Amino acid sequence: MKISPQFLLGVAAALLVPGIASAQLSTSTWPAKPITLIVDAAPGSSNDAFARTIGKRLHETLGQPVVIDNKPSGGGIIANSLVAKAAPDGYTLVLLSTTFTTVAATRANLPYDPIRSFKPVARLATGPMLVAVAADSPYKSIQDLVSAAKAQPGKLNYGTSGVGGINHFAAELLMDAADIKMTQVPYKGISLAITDLIGGQVQVVLSSAASVLPHVANGRVRALAVTTSQRSPVVPDLPSTEQAGYKGSASELWWGVLAPAGTPTAVVDRLNTEINRILDSAEMKAFFLKAGAEAAPMKAVEFEQFIATEITRWKRIAAAAGIQAE
Q: In this predicted model, what pLDDT tens digit does every residue of 83-127 receive, in sequence order?
A: 999 999 999 999 999 999 999 999 989 999 999 999 999 999 999
Return the closest-CA partner of residue 97 out of 318, 316, 291, 320.
Answer: 291
Coil vs helix vs strand at 244:
coil
Asked whether residue 278 falls in the same domain as residue 302, the answer is yes
Same domain? For 114 and 160 the reply is no
CATH of the domain at 22: 3.40.190.150
Q: What is the CATH number of the domain that holds 132?
A: 3.40.190.10
Task: Classify residue 169 as exposed, middle or buried by CB count within 10 Å of its CB (0-12, 13-18, 19+).
Answer: buried
Averages of pLDDT over each 10 residues, the chain, 326 residues: 43 46 60 97 91 98 98 91 98 96 93 98 97 98 98 97 92 97 93 96 96 96 97 96 96 97 98 98 97 97 98 95 83
Does residue 117 sit in the same domain as residue 261? yes
Q: Are residues 123 and 256 in the same domain?
A: yes
- 260 exposed, middle or buried (CB, 10 Å; 0-12, 13-18, 19+)? buried
Q: What integer pLDDT is reported at residue 85 of this predicted model?
A: 98
pLDDT at 279: 98
Mark whether 196 and 299 lie in a shared domain: no
Torsion sign over Cα 224, 50, 284, 267: positive
Say how many domains are in the chain. 2
So what's the pLDDT on residue 326?
65
- In terms of residue numbers, what domain contains 182? 128-226
Do 146 and 61 lie in one domain? The reply is no
Q: How many CB atoms lie within 10 A of CB 119?
A: 23
**pTM, entire model:** 0.88
